[in-house]
Structure 1
């Protein structure tokens, strides 16, 4: 008898209940929505779409069916989610500018590279492509496991069995809870050649594989300008990025005029938005060499860029556009996928290909066993036919006269249950002498096939040879022509082009102000009081620095990274400025410790809270890229305390333990990058003050206090890394 749970209340801690439910949600997002399977490169919604379309017999040779019918079948039988999201997934699989090898062939309006959406599903039609058919090949031959659908009324495949390398060929993108994936598209023939190399030599390195897969192959083409060593490093770790540029050419006009024609743009850059961004930058006068931009595209991309002057160097013009617009773009690599054991992880290129090959090997064994079982069953039936064909009259008599003909046949001719059943189900028209010859012919053919299958099953080497031939077939099918030829050109990293003449900035004094909440702005003039300016509600003055408009500014973050921005690029006027994190990639949990203009001869002492430090040159730590440059290597839980200019002859350190130490500047080494050396032995305490001074000139500790002479300070002198002496009261006294 069941327990009545109506009205039952069970006490539990809210934190535990929330944690349990959130973990369940997170795992659902990771496993069943956002991350692709390493074996077929598909997320569940894509796999269900392809399987549902196969069930509807929408193969490449059949007619099209309304997308609404397909979406209805998917959400009704396999995927109980919203129809809009399922249709979006279907549309993307049909867009040749979004996926390298479309898995669905669309008929109707399926959107454009300008960012236009597809027509409603009631207007569009679809069917599978040959690529999708290859992915599904063997699904009815027990190649993969099936599982019950959400309502237990049907079954769906856990993974697709085909020999197409979909994960790398079409790439993937997804954001789960606490993890994400980003895999660019590649060339299928190159992937198959790399896989063949691994079959022949499982010890091949990623560098060997890059000989076959030199980089991504984007559906929109473009030019890959990433350094080869960087590409190898990215493929080895499964994390990195690839820099791509638009393909362009110079087109001569009349009377010495010329224009730039852009024919291919980086992957996932919307053409209409790109033109808008260029136009906005022209309005802000940030593209001084560009006179006009026009879109003359039809089905092919054709952007016309006209210079302001025909004397402009095309290389310099394009370099200004590459630096300021998405005509140069970076595509991130994060090969975070679900393995065959359904555990997520970041894999290297070699690990991804090996996982796919192992999947093909497992599918081959399962298909061979399935076919062998079918062959043995048919051979058993044919043996039964041959046994009775010599005595047809007796068979007919038994069937006509015996009460239990099946048992009599089995006893008379020594037949198995299956053979007797097959004889009884035989059609009368088959009872011809000629049929016996056909049966013997079929039996010999099946016996030969049986021997071949058993040989394959008995030899792993032969099975890998067979997989190699299947890969050759995939290369032959999808390795050439408009679909298979490489679209993204591999080029060497471009040489540095001096564009300073294009961005000549008038030299004027500026004061840079960075608020506590991270808003940065430039104000004209020096000697300004930061406290006298307006800030957003809840914000206040933070760091400020006086410089010239032609200067570069260095920001030191608490995580040990240095970032560089141009003073001329900072917003001016009476506003609040702009968030500094829109200019450089400073992590949200970090703060800016120092802000100063970069000088040729300038040097700085950078120190951590634990009392380690070093001298760095300002030009040596300058980094033009958004991601900055790691200068100080910190231990867990550490952060940067200060970054002060090198001035004078000595360094003064004061710890939170109220002990002070003065040591010669020459004892502090200069490094370009590192963890520094011990300034003062602090134990579990932290650095509280870091100052530089010229010992013979004395020290003014705080404004309004007298000069402390070298004799006053001599008691605090020692060697770098010492514990120091108890700090005098004038050091500890607050204003």
Structure 2
């Protein structure tokens, strides 16, 4: 503030004064604290840390220095904020579980994935990594602009040259005023591959770039479970949400026991808090499938999850944990950065790569011009040296005898001021023949380099080729080996596993018994067909179904509806059981057509007693309602008569009039429900039986314990809805195929 303004009072509305001051604060937070620069991927505090360590000569080949020394230099010269915030930024750049490609190498306790803090800065030491060196490459060659520091005593870079794709490789996170940024880490080799592809194909789409850079690559590994369309949309717009999961495996134990071992957890999830969260849910009995959790981690993560029992389904167990704990988390993608004009905006993948490449191009041009200027200055001096060696005796005489040798040298040999000054400062030991040869060789070498640089600056294609070569070198160095190998597994979108009541049921074989009068019960194990069963007086066996306790059973009513019964809900024991009409809303006048466990991948042929039918997907034989679901729409007086699995390519139908018809299966429509189409034409009566079969294998039916096969079926082949003809000799009088 100027001195002459001191003591003056200006009347302003409070709202105006507040808005101006808040705007200044907001801009400072956005531009000088929270958002990274798209060119080097660094926030100001990170950039100042790396530059200060560069000034301290803490390169990868030097020794370590105390972090307190580094923090002191950063705070005193560049970043006038609290030392704790500076040290926290330094620690994060050195943590292998926080940074995918650490920019600082730490020595000492820098914290761990459990959430433990680093040791105090007076105990820890640090130096730069080779990746940080890449970010600084060319910093002393006029590659970037500098600006005065906060006190005007020093200069600091506006941005680093950034030969490493740091923004995408290490990601960034920050909350500003009215905006935030959240960029996940990526694999540096894949980012470089995408950048090289963009150099050769400037019009490449985001989908094409994602064939090279497949998605996030978190330092803690884990698994990304999103489909390609979701990932592509997120990187196209710069905003999205990506689902990550822990990586786990089933580990077999003794006597049929097993455990789940978690070896990698989602990014930015603290292991100790995760274990604590699971333990609390376990104590509160909110994880009924989990028996216990143990943390057996050492240098690597190893969380052991014990199931409640060996019959628990591992996929169901992990699905319940993914739903309730941080073993599954979402990473909010928001690629909000400062562009080259220092304007905050959300950028897609292509725009970010383009901005980085344009920055690399600008750095190349500036470094080339800087080198050309240096070469020109050196060549000027070398040309003066060459003139000296051609007239060495005369030069020595002038220096020894003249009062103003500099002016005489310039006038005699037509030298420039710079050349004359260099000759006067030349050491006597340089006046030897060998030195003349070295000067001429250096002159020749620099002249060739000068020609190459001029050709480079004159040809944009050569510049992009050189940039591509530099990026390829980075890819080769940091895109392979333990550091460059991809850590995060990218999978297709994981199916949503419903945590249903069956997951809480111990899986075991059972036999469901339904009597003719509608009493249902279950017994443990799979009973033999000839087992002796007891029923109420006047009742007998209707259906016997062998299944698992976790199965869902389809009950088909003669009213055309399907009902789903959970096997675990069927009463156990050797008593009479429970009335079926207490489990499903089946009217007294309606009977049971079938009781079986449907196969969702199987197709079924359903038909009414009037002979109308269609093909039904097996997935439709399920109903969440106690009242069931209509499958076959029936007319008055009709019943659901048949439901047979489809096997083969033809249909055989026989009516109560003892006429049989065979027609191709493809003449029947497939639908989820309906009246169906006529299978066979009847003058009197209705459908007796129906089956599907393979025409090449022949039609089979059972007579007593024998199975008969008829392969000559030409006489009965016809179109659907035909009348048909009398069946072959020996066909059962019951008009049933029986198999």
| Residue 54 of structure 1: aligned partner | 54
Change (3 A) 1:41 1:3: closer
Distance 1:503 1:150 in 2: 63
- TM-score scaled to structure 2, two decimals? 0.67
> In structure 1, the residue corresponding to 2:301 is in which secondary structure?
coil
Checking the alignment, whether the CA contact within 8 Å between 1:207 and 1:232 is kept in structure 2 is yes
| Residue 564 of structure 1: aligned partner | none
Matches of residues 185-584 of structure 1 in structure 2 within 5 Å?
185-501=185-501
Checking the alignment, whether the CA contact within 8 Å between 2:312 and 2:503 is kept in structure 1 is no
Which stretch shifts more, 491-500 or 442-451? Answer: 491-500
Distance 1:205 1:470 in 2: 23
Superposition CA RMSD, Å: 1.1
Change (3 A) 1:4 1:155: closer
Cα displacement (A) at 1:504 = 6.6
> In structure 1, the residue corresponding to 2:182 is in which secondary structure?
strand
Cα displacement (A) at 1:499 = 2.1
Checking the alignment, whether the CA contact within 8 Å between 1:148 and 1:154 is kept in structure 2 is yes
Change (3 A) 1:318 1:372: same
Deviations 1:443-473 (A, max 9, x none): 1100110010001000000000000000011
Distance 1:496 1:51 in 2: 48
Cα displacement (A) at 1:101 = 0.4
Checking the alignment, whether the CA contact within 8 Å between 1:288 and 1:503 is kept in structure 2 is no
| Deviation beyond 6 Å, 4+ runs, structure 1 | none
Checking the alignment, whether the CA contact within 8 Å between 1:186 and 1:215 is kept in structure 2 is yes
Deviations 1:338-387 (A, max 9, x none): 00000000001000000000000000000000001001111111111111
Cα displacement (A) at 1:388 = 1.3
Distance 2:324 2:461 in 1: 54
Cα displacement (A) at 1:495 = 2.5
Distance 1:12 1:499 in 2: 63
> In structure 1, the residue corresponding to 2:120 is in which secondary structure?
coil
Change (3 A) 1:3 1:181: closer
Checking the alignment, whether the CA contact within 8 Å between 1:138 and 1:162 is kept in structure 2 is no
Deviations 1:194-247 (A, max 9, x none): 001110010000000010111100000001111110000000100001111111
| Residue 7 of structure 1: aligned partner | 7
* Gapped regions of structure 1 (runs ≥ 5): 506-735
* Gapped regions of structure 2 (runs ≥ 5): 506-739
Distance 1:385 1:9 in 2: 68
> In structure 2, the residue corresponding to 1:445 is in which secondary structure?
helix
- TM-score scaled to structure 1, two decimals? 0.68
Distance 2:346 2:158 in 1: 21
> In structure 2, the residue corresponding to 1:27 is in which secondary structure?
helix
Checking the alignment, whether the CA contact within 8 Å between 1:101 and 1:169 is kept in structure 2 is yes
Change (3 A) 1:18 1:254: same
Cα displacement (A) at 1:4 = 4.3
> In structure 1, the residue corresponding to 2:379 is in which secondary structure?
helix
> In structure 1, the residue corresponding to 2:135 is in which secondary structure?
helix
Deviations 1:533-553 (A, max 9, x none): xxxxxxxxxxxxxxxxxxxxx
Distance 2:344 2:180 in 1: 10
> In structure 2, the residue corresponding to 1:329 is in which secondary structure?
strand
> In structure 1, the residue corresponding to 2:268 is in which secondary structure?
coil
Distance 2:502 2:488 in 1: 30
Change (3 A) 1:411 1:502: farther
- Larger radius of gyration between Structure 1 and Structure 2: 2
Distance 1:143 1:383 in 2: 28
Checking the alignment, whether the CA contact within 8 Å between 1:218 and 1:488 is kept in structure 2 is yes
> In structure 2, the residue corresponding to 1:337 is in which secondary structure?
strand
Distance 1:3 1:214 in 2: 59
Checking the alignment, whether the CA contact within 8 Å between 1:289 and 1:502 is kept in structure 2 is no
Matches of residues 60-99 of structure 1 in structure 2 within 5 Å?
60-99=60-99
Deviations 1:168-193 (A, max 9, x none): 00000000000000000001110111
| Residue 167 of structure 2: aligned partner | 167
> In structure 1, the residue corresponding to 2:249 is in which secondary structure?
strand
| Residue 644 of structure 1: aligned partner | none
Change (3 A) 1:502 1:29: farther
Change (3 A) 1:297 1:3: closer
Cα displacement (A) at 1:428 = 0.5
